[in-house]
Structure 1
Amino acid sequence: MIPLHDDNPTRSIAFLTILLIVANVAVFLYQLSLPRAAIEAFFASFALTPAHLTGSGTAHAYGTVLTSMFLHGGLMHLLGNMLYLWVFGNNIEDACGHFRFLLFYVLSGGGAAAAQIAVNPDSQIPMVGASGAISGIL
């Protein structure tokens, strides 16, 4: 069964979890509004490509560690990630506090990116999605 909610009560509103979901959905809707040729340029600019970091490693390329967490390869990719962020994120944000939750989320996503780069540093395949950050939350 796929979880749709949990039974753990929270003491506060998990506004960062909600904000992350809204941001991911907004970026995805923006992706959908782009013409096909522009989507490729959008992903080339904001997705994390390991070879770009291990090669020239420009300052822009390092920023893709963060921006790639908000891109998704399709509707099911987005929905799966947002479902698990919705179900589990509120409990972790409630337990850790807002700032530490956001820090943990970003560091988990960065750790996933570092693992991908370590495993395949010459890859030309763009890495997208919040899966690494959400896996850290789980």
Structure 2
Amino acid sequence: MNPILLLSLLFGLTIGQSLPRCAPAEYTIHVEKRECAYCLAINTTICAGFCMTRDSNGKKLLPRSALSQDVCTYKDVVYRTVLIPGCQRHAVPYYSYPVAMSCKFGKCNTDYSDCIQEMGSTNYCTKPQKPHSW
């Protein structure tokens, strides 16, 4: 192999490992409703990755807006709706969920994003599970 090509390849791999990544990632959501007999396992994509951040030494001198950090968030998103099987007549059997088409680094908008690192609840089914199929 050509030494210049080898060095270029090694350099690219090294730089690629150190750059922040923010991209759609596969994720499984488990959805169930009290009025429905089954839980659905839905495969979707979410935005995931780490952003370059920096900690300012002048926190007390800067306005709060200057201290916010970028997160990996949705750039383009579509919503899909599924029917949860086995629901009682009075229940709404539909569930809508986001599918990340592309992602970006940006400010976290709490109107439509969860901006915490830890998940609040475990993602599992308590009822019999049915895989979602298109």
- The TM-score with structure 1 as length reference comes to 0.23
Larger Rg: 2
Greater RCO (CA < 8 Å, at least 6 residues apart): 1
Structure with more helix by fraction: 1
- The TM-score with structure 2 as length reference comes to 0.24
